[in-house]
Each structure stands twice: as C-alpha cells, then as structure tokens.
Chain A
C-alpha cells in the first residue's frame, strides 16, 4: 500500500499541482485502504479497516469475519468443452470507389401457355337417333371415313404485364448495396513532425526622431553648460572653477590666488597649463612662469615679485613664520596685487583650510580672489578622466595617452582602475605629452603644402594657432568635398563688413577659426559675434552653413559653454535656414571633429 499521503493544505502554486498529478493517477488504481488482522480466533478473525479520505481524514472500522474453511465438493464428470465458434473476421469495405450494381433480379417476363387443341365432347348421352343422311356424293362419305379432325381455335396474343406506378417508384429507390471488397488496406494519417528553420535578423540601430533630438539637445545644453575639463576632473569643486574661468575671462583685472592641496604627484602642473591657456585667452599673449618650490624664493619676492602677467607656483612652507623677512616680502607682494592685471599665484599647502585665513590676513586690507581646491578625487579616477577627456578633445587615441612603454619608473604610477591595478603615466607626463603633440601638429600644419592656399588675416595680431587652423580647415574641406584647395577662399568678404576666415563658394559655406586669443572680456561673446554677423548683416555671397573651429585647449576647457553657445546659435540661424556646426582639430585623424560628438562621449 502506498504510504504517500495527499497534503491537506490548499494547492496554490504550479509545482503543487504538477507534483500531485502522478499521485492522483496512482491513487485511482490503488485506493488508500489498509486492512489489518487484529486478532485471530479459532473460528473467526478480527479485522481492522483503515481508510483515508481525499481530504486526508482517516477512518477506522473493526469487524469479525469467519475463518476460511475448505469444503469438499464432489468431483464433476469431465466437461466436454466445445470449441467456441471462431470469430469471423469482418472485412470492411474500402472507401474510395465502390461500385454497387442492383442485386435484385429483373422482373421475369410473364408467358402464358397456349392451350392444346381442345377436344369437345358432349357429355350428355343421348339416344342415337337415326340419321337420315341426304344423298351425298361419294366424296361426302369419304369425309366420314376419315378420323376425327381437330378443331382449330384462335390463339391468344402474348400478354404483357405492366407494373403499377407506385410499385415502380419503390423499385427505383431501392438501396444500392455495396459490393464487399476482397481486401481492405488501411493507411496511417497522423501528422508528421514538421521542423522549420529559424530566421535570424541583423542587429539594428536606434536613432532619435527630430523632435526628440531637439529636446535632447536642449536638455544636454542645460546639463553641460558651465562644465569643462576642470569640472570633469574635480566635480565636487565645480562652482569654484566657474569663478576661476569667469574671473579670468570677464574681468581679468587682478591676480587670482589658487590654493591646491600639496600632492606628491605634481597636480599643480595641470593647473599651470590651464592658467596659461586662460591667460592667453584673456590677454592674447603668454604669461611669464615662475616656480618657487625650492630655492630662489627670497630673491624673486624681493626683486621681481609682481603677480600680474605671471603664473607663479609657490609652496606654502616657504612663506611661513620661521623666516620673517620672506614673510614680509610675501605680504607686500600680495597687498600690491590689488592694482595689477591678471596673473595667477598657485600655492601648494598641506592644509588648504588653514591657509585661506592666513592669506586673507596677509593681504589685508586688500581682499583677494582666492580659489581653494580642497576635495581631490582618487588619483586613479583623476588620471583616467583626464586621459579620456584629452583623448576626445585632441583626437589622440586613448591607448596612446595611457601608454607607459619607455617611461621611467618615476613617470608612471600603478593605480586602482575598475577594481584592478593598472599602470598609467603620471599626470604631469600626460599633460606635457598632449601639449607637445599639439605643438608638433601645429608645426606640421604650418609646414604643409596647404599653407600655400592660406592668406593672412587682416589683423596684425594673427596667431600661429589661427593660421594652423585655417590650413587644417582647407585640407579638411578639400578632402571632404573633393574640391581643389583653390576652391576654398581664405579671408573672403562675403558681405558688407562680413569677412569669413574661409569661404567655399560651391557649398555656400563660411568657416570661422576661433583661437579665443585676447578676447576678454567674455571670450564667448567673440564666438557669438563671429556667427551672428552672417545673420545680421547683408551678404553678397550666399551662406547656407557656418562652421566654427575652436582650438583644442579652449574646446575642452569651455566645452559645456561652447555646446550651449552652439545650441543657441543653431536656433537663431535656423530662422534664416543657415546651419551652424562647431568643430575642433582632430590631431590623429588630421581632420576636424564635431564638438557635439566630443561632448557626447565626455559627458556620458
């Protein structure tokens, strides 16, 4: 007997039912009734019957049953068992074409027998009367002498029997009985297993509809506005960098004090280069650099010391209390800064928080612009973000930027990246390499054959950057559109007081190269002006598209603002059906790269 019991609880899950299925099948065959012999008596047995109901309840009943005994039964004479008649195998008709002629015999034609010649006798016996015979000729008597001659009666015509109308109909609808076939065959008609091949589809791409693209651009512009390289590297200090870029661009009338945590990995070098670029944008010339990290501090403070037009790197330890003379000179130089032009003083301090009040105290009564950077992310994160941004912004492969082959041990560092240790170049090595590559690319352009098609700007202050960018643009346009370089006009007047850096007649394309060179205050205004002139002023040549090319350092420092400016200008010029695109040089591809593409990969 099965020992398995059906569970009393309600079935709620698939598995409950599936587990129960085989049990249900089993129990149909073997009801769960258990029989036990409780007591064996001489004449009877005490039997206990235990049964389990479907809901799991057990019931028991006890009864007595007489013991089984043997009874002698007289033997019966042997039975003659006849073999039963064999089953006749039924042969069934085959379905397709069965001919079934009528099995009824045709109606027999009825024939009536002709009667034999009838002999007519008079049954009445009469007295033979004398017959008086007339006198007849001998011939007459000879007639009598002849035997009795038969009498010929007229024969009936053949009788035709006709069936009654109703009877005839009955015959017509007689069932046609099938003819039993001699052999029946049967074929299996079960559907076969059918297998189809599966279809594979190519990978698909998804793009945005026009309205969503516009929405995305707007959202992206708002999201990235004010963000650049520094904000990407030190996101927690983003607000302070906005002040740094703003101060360098908008007013540019005083030195800026930058406080950095002293870092063993030369973090200051990046700031040095950035300050150089900001100064260049503001003033249109290179600042004078000075590093006062070790010796020579006293001499510099005493004899040079003015911060305007310089980028000075100073270690805080050198101007602390121990050396009163040096401290006095340092105080004096800071106080003098109230009436100087743009300059940068980068102070490296172990405790940035404590240094801010010290500087404020030294400057009094002058209140300086101090930008104190306190929270630096993990060095590995700074390095990878920097490498990625520089790679995108300059168009140099990422693998090239993080390559450590050939570097000395002090120029590389193992950092934790994505859970694993990875060797990367030091930050100053990375920045220096990019700077070097950019300058070499610039030189390459200035020495290329395309320089022959470049005309100088009407401004006397045209920088080498500006010329190099014009050269690159001519190269790119002629290659992209399959034009001869002569087809690209350099410094072309396309309208009243509207001069394009480059103009392509065939494409109605105007190109503006923006080096952001000496464009303060608000360098971004220069770009707005460069593009809006095609909308505001009357044109003598058609312009359907305006390209703005921004140099790489400026592009990555002001990336968010440039994307924002591009969005606004696009909307404005759309009204006149003029397209606007912002580019930056792609050093590796020796071509131009869309700023929006850089923003896409840098900010996502």
Chain B
C-alpha cells in the first residue's frame, strides 16, 4: 500500500484528456460490463444475478455517457465460456478498478472525489491544477460538472458565497425534496434528467461494491484482499466537531437505497439559514423554534470545512433539500 497526493493523482489520470478516458473505459469498464451481463444471465434467480445486472446497467450508462466525448467505444475483451471463470474474473476486475486499486482505481478515485465538493476545497486544497482555465473546462465538460448549475449556493451575498458553492454531478444522489418535517425529517432523492459521465461512474462504483460484497454464488470467489474495508479504514473519519444527526449508509446495499426516489429519514437535520447552521431536534419554522430544539449551532464555513475531507473520499455523504436549507448527513459503512 502506498499514498498519493491529489495533485499527483490528477497528473497521472489527466482527466482533461479524452484518450486517457478511452483507455480506462475500454480497458476496465467495458470488460466488466460484458462479464456482469454474462453472470446476470447465467445465474438468474441468484442474488449474484441482481447485483451483476445493476453493475452491467451502470457500466452501460458509463459507456453511453463516454460516447458523447469519445465517439465509438470498443470492448477489447473476450468473455470466457466457463460461467464460474466469469464469476472469478468479475470479482477480480471489480476489485482492481475499485477506488485507489491499481491503475484503474486512480480514475475512479478521481471521479469519486469530485462528487460533492466546495469550490474552495476543490481549487485551494484538492486539485489546484484545475485553476487552469482550459484544463478545468475540459475536465468539467467530460465529467459533467457544471459551474453554472452548482448543487448548492449559500443564500448570502458575501465574499464567501462563491467559495462555499458546492459543485458535483446532478445525477448522483444529492438534491432532495422534503417530504416530512417536524419531529423527524424525510427527504426523497430527486432524479436527474440526464446522466453525466461522472455521475454514472459513481453509480458504477456503488455497483462494484455490491458485487465485491459477493452475495449468492459470488461468495465462492475469494479475493486476495478486502479492498473496500481497507479503503474505508484509511479514509478520514466523520468530523468529531459535528456529533449529531448522522444516519448510517450501508455501502453494500447503497445501489438500491441511495438512489433516485429513495427516501431518507432522520431524527435530526441541519438547517441552513443564510450563514448560520443549526442542528435541530425538531424542524419547524424559525419563529416557532425554542432553544431546546437546537442541538448545535455553527456556521456554514466551519460546517463545510469540517465535512470536506471525509465527504470527498466518500466516508460521509450529504443530502441537500432543493432550496438548500436542509442538510442530512450520512456516514458510509460496510
């Protein structure tokens, strides 16, 4: 095991280069798609077929999204006729493209870290290389990040507004509708009109995790390392400065629970009002609050700075209401 700085990572991957992405898609995603399709077909009825089907579908979406900037994508892979060998190869290939594993893992790691990130953290800490106008434009265009359509903009006119604007993929679970509020809050994740390359790859990663959890007959395949556990163990943990309101997100099943139209319920919610952030026990209109409702008071800058290291690596996750006033925090576990 070794470490890599984000700047070295982006230099290795060169996300602004379409040819770099071609190698990744043809060499890693396309073979997994073929293998997963085969396993889904061969083991119908088994739970391995369900996860393989999801993985094959998400790989198809990745390839479709990639075609927009790559043109035709070729699959340089021949699926073995032996179904058991297909199972083994599927697990091996999924493991070797998981976050930070081997060469393929560098690509997924880079895409994953751009799911939800503040401009401040993105340009000042994570990838200063993207301050370069041309590189940023190409990278964002390929991945589907739109600066004119951020996921969150603070509702204050301040010099910090731009810094705390959150960029990301609209099609990976982030923006929600508030279904219920009061003693508990329920958010339902909104669907996106279009699939982005980055968002599709993040869903593909959830599919990889589902396969690497090895349900059904996949349990007969033994990988040489538990790459998911190792990754989560090495990720920055959830910020101790925010002790309240964490819901648990089981990564193994997130491919069905953390997707569009699924609902998330919590006893606590973070309420954002301008620059102020309050963790509330009971979410009511501000004029009805009593001090007992407020579990913690902080500010937007501190909240996002505390959250960023664990959020970009995926140890934590954030759901936002459509008006940007309610936030739900989740902790990813396996």
Contacts and interface: CB of A to CB of B under 8 A. Distances in A.
Contact of A195 (B2, B6, B88): B6
A389 to B, nearest CB: 14
A24 B109 CA distance: 35
Interface stretch (A198-206, A364-372, A496-504): A198-206
Nearest to B95: A204
Contacts of B5: 197-198
Contacts of A197: 3-6
Nearest to A17: B322
Interface string B91-131: 11001101011100110010001000000110011100000
Contacts of A600: 82, 85
B100 A200 contact: yes
Interface in B59-96: 80-85, 87-89, 91-92, 95-96
B227 interface: yes
Nearest to B305: A191
A206 B91 contact: yes
Nearest to B85: A604
A18 interface: yes
A206 B322 contact: no
A13 B301 contact: no
Contacts of B288: none
Contacts of A25: 153, 155
B193 A13 contact: yes
Contacts of B190: 12-14, 17
A207 B222 CA distance: 5
Interface residues of A, number: 42
B216 to A, nearest CB: 12
B149 interface: yes
Contact of B224 (A200, A205, A220): A205
Nearest to A211: B220
Contacts of B125: 193-195
B231 A14 contact: no
Given A195-B126, A208-B221, A14 B84 contact: no
Given A200-B1, A201-B227, A204-B223, A17 B306 contact: no
B175 A18 contact: yes
B6 A198 contact: yes
A460 interface: no
Nearest to B100: A200
A119 B302 CA distance: 87
Interface string A348-384: 0000000000000000000000000000000000000
A205 B323 CA distance: 46
Contacts of B223: 204-206
Interface in B195-228: 217, 219-225, 227
A202 B1 contact: yes
B191 A13 contact: yes
A25 B223 CA distance: 52
Given A14-B171, A21-B324, A198-B3, A208 B80 contact: no
Contact of B82 (A12, A22, A24, A219): A219
A203 B113 CA distance: 20
Contacts of B231: 199, 201
Contacts of B3: 197-200
A82 interface: no
A15 interface: yes
B150 interface: yes
A482 interface: no
Contacts of B87: 208, 212
Interface in A295-334: none
Contacts of A266: none
A18 B190 CA distance: 11
B192 interface: yes
Contacts of B100: 198-201
Interface residues of B, number: 71
A191 B302 contact: yes
B309 interface: yes
B151 interface: yes
B31 interface: no
Interface string B162-188: 000000001100110000000000000
Contacts of A204: 92, 95-96, 101, 223-225, 227
Contact of A208 (B2, B194, B222): B222
Contact of A201 (B1, B174, B192): B1
Contacts of A212: 84, 87, 217, 220-221
A14 B92 contact: no
B1 A196 contact: no
Nearest to B214: A206
B46 interface: no
Nearest to A207: B222
Contacts of B309: 194-196
A532 interface: no
A201 B230 contact: yes
A603 interface: yes
B224 A206 contact: yes
A219 B42 CA distance: 13
A356 B4 CA distance: 71
Contacts of A208: 84, 87-88, 220-222
A215 interface: yes
Nearest to B307: A191
B9 interface: yes
B19 interface: no
B141 interface: no
Nearest to B120: A193
B121 A193 contact: yes
A604 B81 contact: yes
Contacts of B316: none
A63 interface: no
Interface in B232-259: 234, 236, 241
A127 B127 CA distance: 124
Given A18-B150, A194-B308, A198-B5, 16 more contacts: A11-B322, A15-B194, A17-B323, A25-B155, A192-B305, A193-B305, A198-B3, A198-B109, A199-B100, A199-B231, A201-B100, A201-B105, A201-B230, A202-B101, A208-B84, A215-B220
13 contacts: A12-B190, A17-B190, A190-B302, A191-B241, A193-B305, A196-B309, A197-B5, A198-B109, A199-B1, A206-B91, A207-B88, A216-B82, A219-B82
Interface of B: 1-6, 9, 80-85, 87-89, 91-92, 95-96, 98, 100-102, 105-106, 109, 113, 120-121, 124-126, 149-151, 153, 155, 170-171, 174-175, 190-194, 217, 219-225, 227, 230-231, 234, 236, 241, 301-302, 305-306, 308-309, 313, 322-324
Interface of A: 11-15, 17-19, 21-22, 24-25, 190-209, 211-212, 215-216, 219-220, 223, 600, 603-604
Q: Which 10 A-B pairs have the closest CB atoms?
A: A212-B220, A604-B80, A216-B84, A17-B322, A206-B92, A203-B102, A197-B3, A199-B234, A206-B91, A204-B95
